[in-house]
Amino acid sequence: NLQAIYADAVFRPRLRHFDFLQEGWRLEHTDINTKTTPIIIKGVVYNEMKGVFNENQTIFIEKLLNSILPSHTYGVVSGGEPLQIPNLTHDYLVKFHQEHYHPSNSKIYSYGNFPFEDHLKFMNDHYLCSNGKIDVSSSLVPAEPRWLSPRRKHVDCRLDPLAPDPDRQSSIAIGHLCNDIKDTQTTLELHILAELLIKGPTSAFYKGFIEENLATGFGPFTGYDSQCRDTIFVISLQGVTNDDFKKIEEKHDDILKDVISKGFDDDHVAAVIHGIELRNKHQSSNFGLNLLFNIFPLWNHEGDIVESLRINSALEEFKRKMKKDEKYLQKLVEKYLLKNNHRLILTMSPTDDYDKKLVEAEDAVLKKKLGELSPENVDKIFETGKLLRADQEKKEDLNILPTLMTRDLKDDVDRYDFEDIEVSDVPVQVSVQPTNGILYYRGILDIKHLDDELKVLVPVFNDVFARMGTEKYDYRSFDRLCSLKTGGLSFNSHVSSDKIDLERYQEGIVVSSYCLLRNSPELWRLLEELFSRGQLNDLK
């Protein structure tokens, strides 16, 4: 049973010393069979984290999180800073696991149609009842002390020889620490505010930064993040020049002041609320996992997860506040962004000697580790390396792993009723299912008669067709309409092989969308508008 495999991995890992040497870090000869070869640092996690920090944006994101939440767990690299990993000992790892991976410190979640009582009995009989309760208060993350004034930091990175513009390899982020994650109402409202400010071509920051060519695009951490104990709002820009750092910072505040002065378009606010309602009702194949990922940050910080699931009542409360105070959103902008002293301005630029300095730092760590060893312990490195290799080459007993047998499978797949009809001589399949009030649409356009020269352009067509506007609506207005009434219009390439003849296949473009059932007439009107009057002549 996979449940036992995963639960054992969490609560009862072996954590042998050899496991630590292989997975964590170790000193080892470059050739384990030759004692005279150089000694280096090895380890799965050590090398993985070195690979992670080969990406400039990863360096930037990690520095941003560590710097804006410096006082506790977020102030360190959760996966391990490569230069610090060699300070970890096996004894400390075992002790850390005993304290923090105890059942008393766990949250157990179950979703699906298997009997819940069986899951509870399994976890209780095998893991919970055999462990006494311990004090886990040390695992609680306190709120971050608020700053009295903004702070600035700069970080170096490596040059990218493949960058489209060698002069635009810098990044800048302006981050604000916002509300306590337990305040679920404010969290929802700031999620709405973030979408209004950032998402789509009509948003203030997109028009102010991207369309003004101050950056090639938003950085990967851009937006409102509600994963940590205190939530964070970040505007991150990549592909900027060092000379524009000050200009971007001033532009950032000018945009906020303009938003406070003019407010937001009612249709824009309605589109964002509609999107939240639609996402709340939309059920994908991994709905249970998505639900877990959404509630876990709040749950992990002892928040009210049941209250957080009451999205409809929270939206109604937000609408009530908006009706009572037409400048409510502007006041949120002023409080959490413009006049928030807990602001971090982080910049990053490449340097010619970044890799050289990194190698020197790694060499210094290795030299320090070797310098701490006695001659006898240096000799043991060779023997330990050979013992570890022998342990790695042992044949594992695969019979202890769960195996899926044909008898475990159903005799047939799940089948659903559908009706075949024709609309304007086009074959249509209709399936009535409990979709939580959502209509799903999927159509296929046959492209087998297209010339090969045109087929090459199909991926480009799929990417831009729904984003270029129509004769009646420019691209911003059409994007707003799609957000107001649907979950978006999607175009993707499609290839399907024949079930009988392997030499035959169908080529096409899949058109898909979904919407609240009440908005289905608007979905058809948007598709008709796009197909009948779509424009492809806006080269910008």
Which pTM value belongs to this model?
0.85
Tokens 């157990």 -> residue: 108
- Whether 68 is covered by a domain: the verdict is no
Output the CA–CA distances (angstroms, integers) from residue 463 to 115, 254, 458, 466, 473, in the order listed: 44, 32, 9, 8, 18
- Whether 146 is covered by a domain: the verdict is no
- Whether 408 is covered by a domain: the verdict is no
The confidence score (pLDDT) of residue 102 equals: 93
List pLDDT tens digits, range 324-340.
999 999 999 999 999 99
- Whether 407 is covered by a domain: the verdict is no
- The amino acid present at 377, given as its one-letter code, is N
- The amino acid present at 76, given as its one-letter code, is V
Examine the domain organization and report whether 232 and 341 are in the same domain.
yes
Examine the domain organization and report whether 17 and 135 are in the same domain.
yes
Residue 427 makes CB contacts below 8 A (sequence gap 6+) with 420, 421
| Domain containing residue 310 | 151-350
Examine the domain organization and report whether 194 and 334 are in the same domain.
yes
Residues of the chain with pLDDT under 70: 1, 539-540
Examine the domain organization and report whether 37 and 124 are in the same domain.
yes
- Look at residue 383 and give its three-state secondary structure: helix
The confidence score (pLDDT) of residue 1 equals: 64
Pair of tokens at residue 33: 């069979």
- Whether 448 is covered by a domain: the verdict is yes
The confidence score (pLDDT) of residue 403 equals: 82
28 with 39: CB under 8 angstroms? yes
Examine the domain organization and report whether 126 and 164 are in the same domain.
no
The confidence score (pLDDT) of residue 280 equals: 83
Examine the domain organization and report whether 431 and 383 are in the same domain.
no
Distance CA 506, CA 525 (A): 28
- Whether 405 is covered by a domain: the verdict is no
Examine the domain organization and report whether 12 and 134 are in the same domain.
yes
Examine the domain organization and report whether 341 and 201 are in the same domain.
yes
Distance CA 443, CA 511 (A): 5
Output the CA–CA distances (angstroms, integers) from residue 399 to 396, 402, 432, in the order listed: 9, 8, 45
The confidence score (pLDDT) of residue 405 equals: 84
Please state the three-class secondary structure of 325-344 as a single string: CCCHHHHHHHHHHHCCCCEE
Name the domain count of the chain. Answer: 3
- Whether 411 is covered by a domain: the verdict is no
Distance CA 279, CA 274 (A): 9
Examine the domain organization and report whether 277 and 335 are in the same domain.
yes
Which residue, among 182, 179, 172, has the nearest Cα to 193 in the 3D structure? 179
Which residue, among 354, 345, 352, 353, has the nearest Cα to 55 in the 3D structure? 354
The CATH number for 124's domain is: 3.30.830.10
Examine the domain organization and report whether 100 and 200 are in the same domain.
no
215 with 239: CB under 8 angstroms? yes
Count of residues for the chain?
540
- Whether 80 is covered by a domain: the verdict is yes
Domain boundary among 289, 318, 350: 350
The confidence score (pLDDT) of residue 202 equals: 85
Examine the domain organization and report whether 5 and 29 are in the same domain.
yes
Examine the domain organization and report whether 193 and 314 are in the same domain.
yes
